[in-house]
Amino acid sequence: MTNIDSNVVEGFGDEWSRFDQSALTPEELEKLFDNYFNIFPWETLPTEAVGFDLGCGSGRWAKLVAPRVGKLHLIEPSEALEVAKRNLKELTNCEFHRASVEEIPLNDDSADFGYSLGVLHHIPDTEAGLKLCVEKLKPGAPFLLYLYYRFDNRPAWFRAIWKISDLFRRAISILPHSLRFFVSQIIAGLVYFPLARFALVLEKLGVDVSSFPLSQYRETSFYTMRTDALDRFGTRLEQRFTKKEIEEMMVRSGLTNIKFSETSFWTAVGIKS
C-alpha cells in the first residue's frame, strides 16, 4: 500500500494555490516561523548545511530556512510545489522535488537536518513516514516535527468541542474544492475571527486564555485564519497523537534527545542516534 492519500494531496494543491502566503507580512511570517522553530538547534548545524523540507507546501517555512543554510531540498507531492517555486525564485540554494515521503530523492545518512511541519499526520501511516525521513539524516542531525495533538493537555469540555467540530470537518472535507473553500471561509469569518479577537480582549484584561478555543489566533491576521480554516476543515485525512505517542514514535524511528516546545501544539525536535 502506498503511504499517501491522493485526495489529501489534491486538496493541499488546491489550498496552497488559493493561499500562496504572499499576503503575509514579513513580521507575521517571522512570528509564525518562530512558533515552530524556536526549539530548533540552529547552532549545531555545520557550515553550509544541507537539509530537507518534507511537505513544503507553498514554501513559507523554506523562505526563512534557506537563507540560513547551504542547500535546502523542498519535497512536495502536490501542485503546491509550483507555488513554492514561484515564492522562492530569488533563492538560489533551493532544489525542488515532486515526490512523496516514500520517494524522498536523497541518499540515506546524507542530510544535516530535516523538518516536516503539519504533514505526516495527513498520511495513512505516520510512523512509517517519519522513519523514512529519519533514514535520510546523518547521525547526530536534528529533525523538527509537528503533528496534530490529541488535546491530552486540554480539559474535557475542550475535547468535546473539538469532537463536534470534527463532525463538521468530515462532512465538509468530502465536498468539491470550491464548496470546501466557500464553507471554510464562512467558518473563518463567523467562528475563527470573533473567538480569536475575543481571546485577545480577554488577555488584555488579564485573563488566562491558554485554554480558550482558537486563542492561538488572537494576534494573527484574518488571512492566516482563512488559510488554517481551509486546512482544518478541508482535509479528509488527519490523525492526532498524544505527547507520549509522539515521543515514542520518534524514539522508534531512531531519534533521541527529544525536546518538545512549550506551545499549545506538540512541536518536537529529536537527534538521529
CATH number at residue 39: 3.40.50.150
pLDDT, the chain, mean: 94
- What number is the average pLDDT over the span 111-139? 97
Type of residue at 153: N
Residues 40 and 138 in one domain: yes
Task: Determine how β-strand 142-147 pairs with β-strand 255-260.
Answer: unpaired
Closest CA to 142 of 47, 261, 257: 257
Evaluate if residue 1 carries a pLDDT over 70.
no
- What number is the average pLDDT over the span 19-30? 93
State pTM to two decimals.
0.94
The answer to the question of residue 26 being in a domain is: yes
Residues 103 and 128 in one domain: yes
Structural domain boundaries, residue 204: 156-233
Residues 256 and 206 in one domain: no
Residues 227 and 123 in one domain: no
The 3-state secondary structure of 202-218 reads HHHCCCCCCCCCCHHHC
pLDDT given for residue 264 in this prediction: 57
The answer to the question of residue 80 being in a domain is: yes
- Tens digits of residue pLDDT in 183-222: 999 999 999 999 999 999 999 999 999 889 999 999 999 9
- What number is the average pLDDT over the span 219-241? 95
Residues 213 and 97 in one domain: no
Evaluate if residue 60 carries a pLDDT over 80.
yes
Number of domains in the chain: 2
Residues 266 and 203 in one domain: no
Taking CA atoms, 168 is separated from 45, 122, 175, 187, 236, in Å, by 43, 17, 11, 10, 11
Residues 40 and 172 in one domain: no
Residues 168 and 97 in one domain: no
Distance CA 1, CA 128 (A): 12
Residues 191 and 224 in one domain: yes
Evaluate if residue 132 carries a pLDDT over 70.
yes
Closest CA to 236 of 13, 29, 7, 23: 7
Evaluate if residue 20 carries a pLDDT over 60.
yes
- Are the beta carbons of 76 and 55 closer than 8 angstroms? yes
- What number is the average pLDDT over the span 70-98? 96
- Of 212 and 265, the structure prediction assigns the larger pLDDT to 212
Residues 44 and 66 in one domain: yes
- Tens digits of residue pLDDT in 152-193: 888 899 999 999 999 999 999 999 999 999 999 999 999 999
Residues 251 and 131 in one domain: yes
Evaluate if residue 19 carries a pLDDT over 70.
yes
Evaluate if residue 96 carries a pLDDT over 90.
yes
Residues 98 and 203 in one domain: no
The answer to the question of residue 118 being in a domain is: yes
The answer to the question of residue 1 being in a domain is: no
pLDDT given for residue 42 in this prediction: 98
Q: What secondary structure letter does DSSP report for 102?
A: G
